[in-house]
């Protein structure tokens, strides 16, 4: 498989560049659109009747690993994640494929098989797709899901005093970068791949909807950028830097400066909105590392924190306080 | 000084190559082809306690790392002075774009710069002189776009005489200060000069 220059979500356009263009597009004001792109949420939501709404989302990217089947699984897990991040259930999926004309079609077959395995695991159905010839491989899914209108999880509904939990470890970008320079720890790669192919479908199975104030998936940009998105300029988050979970070997990789361009883009995007009270380069990098198929980041009020820890494997990483000059303070 | 060429290398190779070179050297000059690689090397220098400076060279940057107190600044060789055929230079020498209503002229210039940031082929240098000098100073409506352009490797130069004349010397916030020799050379070497 052709190794891509910047695989997975590290290939994503910077958040800053994107919102500047999006803000210039004309919008149609349809009252059925409950969540559109102006709220920078994970997917779009369209109400279809009194009770239910449809969630639409799509995600695709170039390979970050050589194994086509695994790449297919990662890309599909990542695409399905947006539905879970909004509280929905995936119904149907369409393949999005870019594939070079001169490559072995069996490779593509394995990618699609890997993707389909995850669609099936999610209880959804693959119903079609679109393929074009392109210089590099890219693959992903457009997914449609369904959600009850009174059970939508949003990313901009955080409350003061909330505590935030993260359901997957950080460091997929760092581990894949170490692989790219040929200095990866096979165990860490295995750990990262297993995380990237784990569906984000357990949150609402374990935690009552009413407890969750806000939710997003940490995928595409880094943890700090997604956290900043959730604060939507209204609150400040205090991050416990020592509580951030990460894959084994990440520390060695950061010590070796296996740093991605995407992480630096994330750092540039947040600029001085984030302040580090700890002088620890690793804590900075792990939070800026662009995640591919990362976990869910959700907030609950303090009174439920203890129960959440017992019900769901997750890490308590931050707390919401009144807005200060900084958007994020890392301690 | 040891030279390493990390151009056309995907991240994280440039920063890794620079770090490895510094393990045995006092000073290293690294060539990279994008500004993010410069920033990644700067981060590494901060952690390792090296001094770091950089300058635009050709289509990329030269970064110098140093363990000692002495930190030479790499020679600045803008793209305009190399023989690139697709090369162009943008000149801003008045308040706004074209001639007519001042409000419209300023609006047009803002739109011009936004569109410029979206071009596949970017200018190597943008020259600001005469009233154009206001646009690289505090309060300029173009700063956000200029920042994007600078990050993509476009050199931004403002005429020093003009900054002096308009009393803007302390207010320059983006790019470097230039002189008439450099302005003449840059324009003469350019494939074409675009004046909106």
Rounded CA separation B121/B144 (Å): 19
Residues of A with catalytic roles: 9
* Residues on chain B touching A264 (C-beta within 8 angstroms): 36, 39-40, 43
B16, B34, B44 member nearest A181 (Cβ):
B16
What is the side-by-side order of every strand in the sheet holding A315-322?
Answer: A212-217, A296-301, A162-166, A315-322, A235-239, A328-330, A274-276
- Minimal Cα–Cα distance from B116 to chain A, Å? 13
Judged by a CB distance cut-off of 8 A, whether residue B155 touches chain A is no
| Coil, helix or strand at residue A224 | helix
What is the DSSP code string of A226-239?
Answer: HHHHHHTTTEEEEE
CATH code at position B136: 3.40.1260.10
Binding-site residues on chain A for chain B (CB distance < 8 A): 5-6, 17, 20, 177, 180-181, 256-261, 264-265, 267-268, 281
Question: Could you say which residues of chain A have pLDDT below 70?
Answer: 1-17, 38-39
B70 shares a domain with B100:
no
pLDDT in tens, A132-178: 999 999 999 999 999 999 999 999 999 999 999 999 999 999 999 99
Which residue from A minimizes the CA distance to B35?
A: A261
> Which residue from A minimizes the CA distance to B117?
A17
Q: Which of B51, B75, B99 is the C-terminal boundary of a domain?
A: B75
Cross-chain Cβ contact B15/A261 below 8 Å: no
Domains and CATH numbers, chain A: 8-151 (3.30.1330.10), 162-330 (3.90.650.10)
* Complex ipTM more than 0.90, yes or no: no
Number of structural domains chain B divides into: 2
The whole domain housing B92 covers 81-194
Helix axes A186-196, A172-180, angle to 10 degrees: 130
User: What pLDDT score was predicted for residue A11?
Assistant: 61
User: Are B34 and A268 a contacting pair at CB < 8 A?
Assistant: no
Dihedral angle over CA of B121, B33, B47, A265, nearest 10: 30
B163 shares a domain with B90: yes
> How confident is the model over B45-94, as pLDDT tens digits?
999 999 999 998 888 899 999 998 778 888 777 654 333 334 799 999 99
Rounded to two decimals, the pTM is: 0.74
The CATH number covering residue B69 comes to 3.30.110.40
| pLDDT recorded at residue B11 | 84
CB-nearest partner of A264 from B40, B144, B148: B40
Inter-chain CB proximity A261 and B151 less than 8 Å: no
B171 shares a domain with B108: yes
The proportion of chain B whose per-residue pLDDT surpasses 70, expressed as a percent, equals 95
Residues B107 and B181 in one domain: yes
Same domain, B114 and B185: yes
Mean pLDDT, residues B166-189: 89
Same domain? For B124 and B67 the reply is no
Q: For the segment A209-256, what is each residue's pLDDT rounded down to a tens digit? A: 999 999 999 998 999 999 999 999 999 999 999 999 999 999 999 999
Cα dihedral A296, A22, A261, A78 sign: positive
Same domain, yes or no, for B100 and B68?
Answer: no
């Amino acid at each position: 498989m052709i190794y891509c220059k910047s695989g997975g979500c590290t290939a994503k356009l910077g958040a800053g560049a994107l919102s500047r263009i999006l803000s210039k597009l004309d919008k149609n004001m349809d009252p059925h659109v409950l969540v559109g792109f102006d709220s920078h949420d994970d997917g779009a939501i369209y109400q279809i009747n009194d009770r239910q709404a449809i969630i639409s989302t799509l995600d695709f990217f170039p390979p970050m690993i050589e194994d086509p089947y695994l790449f297919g699984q990662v890309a599909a897990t990542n695409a399905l994640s947006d539905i879970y991040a909004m509280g929905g259930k995936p119904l149907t999926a369409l393949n999005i494929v870019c594939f070079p004309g001169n490559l072995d079609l069996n490779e593509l077959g394995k990618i699609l098989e890997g993707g389909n395995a995850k669609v099936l695991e999610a209880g959804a159905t693959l119903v079609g797709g679109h393929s074009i010839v392109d210089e590099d491989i890219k693959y992903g899914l457009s997914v449609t899901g369904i959600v009850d209108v009174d059970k939508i999880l949003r990313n901009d509904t955080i409350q003061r005093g909330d505590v935030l939990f993260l359901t997957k470890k950080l460091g997929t970008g760092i581990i894949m970068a170490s692989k790219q320079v040929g200095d990866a720890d096979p165990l860490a790669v295995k750990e990262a791949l297993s995380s990237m192919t784990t569906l984000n479908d357990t949150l609402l199975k374990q935690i009552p909807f009413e407890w969750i104030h806000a939710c997003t998936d940490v995928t595409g940009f880094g943890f700090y950028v997604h956290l900043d998105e959730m604060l939507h300029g209204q609150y400040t988050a205090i991050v416990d830097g020592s509580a951030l979970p990460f894959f084994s070997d990440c520390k060695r990789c950061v010590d070796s400066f296996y740093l991605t361009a995407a992480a630096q883009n994330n750092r540039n995007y947040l600029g001085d909105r984030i302040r580090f009270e700890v002088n620890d380069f690793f804590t900075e990098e792990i939070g800026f590392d662009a995640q591919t198929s990362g976990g869910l980041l959700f907030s609950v009020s303090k009174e439920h924190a203890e129960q959440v820890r017992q019900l769901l494997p997750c890490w308590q990483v931050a707390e919401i306080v009144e807005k200060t000059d900084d958007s994020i303070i890392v301690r | 000084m040891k030279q390493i060429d990390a151009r056309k290398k995907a991240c994280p190779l440039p920063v890794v190559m620079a770090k490895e070179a510094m393990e045995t050297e006092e000073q290293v000059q690294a060539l990279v082809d994008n500004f993010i690689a410069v920033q990644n090397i700067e981060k590494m220098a901060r952690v390792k306690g090296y001094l770091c400076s950089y300058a635009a060279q050709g289509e990329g940057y030269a970064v110098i790392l140093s363990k000692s107190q002495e930190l030479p600044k790499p020679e600045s060789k803008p793209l305009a002075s190399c023989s690139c055929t697709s090369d162009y230079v943008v000149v801003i020498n008045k308040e706004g774009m074209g001639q007519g209503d001042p409000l419209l002229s300023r609006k047009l210039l803002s739109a011009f710069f936004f569109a410029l940031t979206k071009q596949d082929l970017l200018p190597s240098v943008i020259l600001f002189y005469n009233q154009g000098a206001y646009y690289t100073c505090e309060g300029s409506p173009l700063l956000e776009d200029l920042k994007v352009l600078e990050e993509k490797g476009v050199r931004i130069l403002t005429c020093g005489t003009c900054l002096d004349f308009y009393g803007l010397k302390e207010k320059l916030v983006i790019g470097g200060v230039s002189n008439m020799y450099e302005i003449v050379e840059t324009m003469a070497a350019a494939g074409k000069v675009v004046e909106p």
